[in-house]
Amino acid sequence: MQQLSMVDIDNIAHGAGILGTGGGGDPYIGRMLLAEEYRRGSVATLMDPDEVADDDLVVASAFMGAPSVVMERIPSGDEAVEALRVLERHLGRTVTAIVPMECGGLNSMIPLLVAAKTGIPIVDADGMGRAFPELQMETFGVYGVSGSPIAICDDRGHSVLVDTGADNLSMERHARGVAIRMGGVAYIAEYPMSGSDLKRTAIPRTLTLARSLGKAVTQAKSSGRSPLQAVIDSCTTSIYGHARLLLEGKVVDVARATSGGFVRGTAEIRAFDDSRSVELSFQNEHLIAKEGDTVLAIVPDLISVLDTETGLAINTESLRFGQRVQVIGIATPSIMRTPEALDVFGPSAFGVEEPWVPLENILVAGAVHRDA
């Protein structure tokens, strides 16, 4: 167990931006809410997966909905706590540990906020290893944990509990409908599981990965080194194992629409000398990076867009014409690459036709591999 400082929170927020792979919402809103909570004397306690007891009751915490709506309708932080309490009352049991649904984007911060507000420890792990747009896209579910019952709360004190048994796709469908009717964003607690199930199904130590990513970028900047290389190095030494630059250039086109509760669109990044052009397609998060017909990286591997100067991630909401960026690919851990996992969050789960190819196996003449 360790108490996280506000410096830790800042670093996690920066790193979660990168792991958000374009989505998961802007972590900085959550960081602001945590700063306020820390000023009141609250502290979030991080728990290593090895410290989780087999009979702990662990619940995954998150917001759901379109990140664009969260940015217009900033939460108080009590919504996600209320979701936890509603689920506790429904189960008739006390939650002993919180785990993030996803380690990327705002959803790295929401469970930390719940941890700070309630004093319940947060496990250093998550169920996505990045950000994904749908609730069934969890390693918890891939390896047999039911998302149900899920508690869904809004900022008006309304709550909804959905129980679809082991059918996590139906759980997502109903919860999505509720979130849309709640105004496009809602706060959830779900995947109630034992500590032993958590340890079996979660992607371990992703909060500390986010923290080391954020810390590496900050330190590189202050010492005049390349933030990009720091990011690649941090990923390479983690269970993710591999990261590479796909293209450096500027944003020349962005098409984006909010529909069905998601932000969908494409962005084109062109090299400064016009020699290359990469198209990114996203559904909240980036799904595929293509150079012409050539796939450079594809979901569930991560695609992130970094500001060239600062090394900070730019999410799909914030992409703008003219931004100077580095597009990077990050490989996923092996627990996210099994056939069962690819069924749930591989390319076909998003309607992407191209088959999945491990990032590290893609050999592209133009793609610069800087971790050598």
Q: How far is the CB of 241 from a second copy (least distance, A)?
A: 39
d(CA 340, CA 231): 29
Give me the least distance between CB of 132 and a second copy, in Å please. Answer: 21
- Distances in whole angstroms, Cα of residue 4 to Cα of each of 85, 120, 193, 209, 213: 23, 13, 24, 14, 16
**Residue closer to a second copy (CB basis): 63 or 282:** 63
Residue nearer to a second copy on the CB measure, 167 or 279: 167
Q: How far apart are CA 275 and CA 51, in angstroms?
A: 51
Instruction: Give the span between the Cα atoms of 346 and 343, in whole angstroms.
Output: 6
Let me know: does 370 contact 330? Beta carbons within 8 Å.
no
**Nearest approach, Cβ of residue 146 and a second copy (Å):** 12
The pair of three-digit structure tokens given for residue 177, joined into one six-digit string: 């409908």
Using the minimum distance from each CB to a second copy, give the nearer residue, 92 or 351: 92
Q: Which tokens belong to 71?
A: 């940015």
Q: Is 238 helix (H, G, I), strand (E, B) or coil?
A: coil
Whole-number minimum distance, CB 117 to a second copy, in Å? 21
Give backbone dihedrals phi and psi of 64, rounded to 5 degrees, phi first. -135, 150
Looking at beta carbons only, is 168 or 238 nearer to a second copy? 168
**Between 173 and 270, CB nearer to a second copy:** 173
> Crossing angle, helix 78-91 and helix 106-118, to 10 degrees?
70
Phi, psi of 234 (to 5 degrees): -65, -40
CB of residue 172 vs a second copy: minimum separation in angstroms? 11
Shortest spacing between CB 370 and a second copy, in angstroms: 47
CB of 81 to a second copy, least distance (A): 16
Q: Which residues bind a second copy (CB under 8 A)?
A: 86, 90, 92, 156-165, 167, 170, 173-174, 177-178, 180-182
Residue with smaller CB distance to a second copy, 180 or 271: 180
Among residues 149 and 300, whose Cβ is nearest to a second copy? Answer: 149
Comparison of 92 and 339: residue with beta carbon closer to a second copy: 92
Query: How far is Cα 112 from Cα 263, in angstroms, rounded to an integer?
Result: 25
CB contact at 8 A, 256 and 270: no
Q: From the CB of 41, what's the least distance to a second copy, in Å?
A: 30
Residue 172 · residue 134 · CB < 8 Å:
yes
Nearer to a second copy, 184 or 333 (CB): 184
Residues constituting the chain: 372
**Alpha carbons 235 and 241: distance in angstroms, whole number:** 6
Q: List, in sequence order, every residue forming a beta bridge with 248; answer none if it has no partner.
A: 326
| Torsion sign over Cα 116, 120, 125, 131 | negative
* Minimum separation from the CB atom of position 187 to a second copy (A): 14
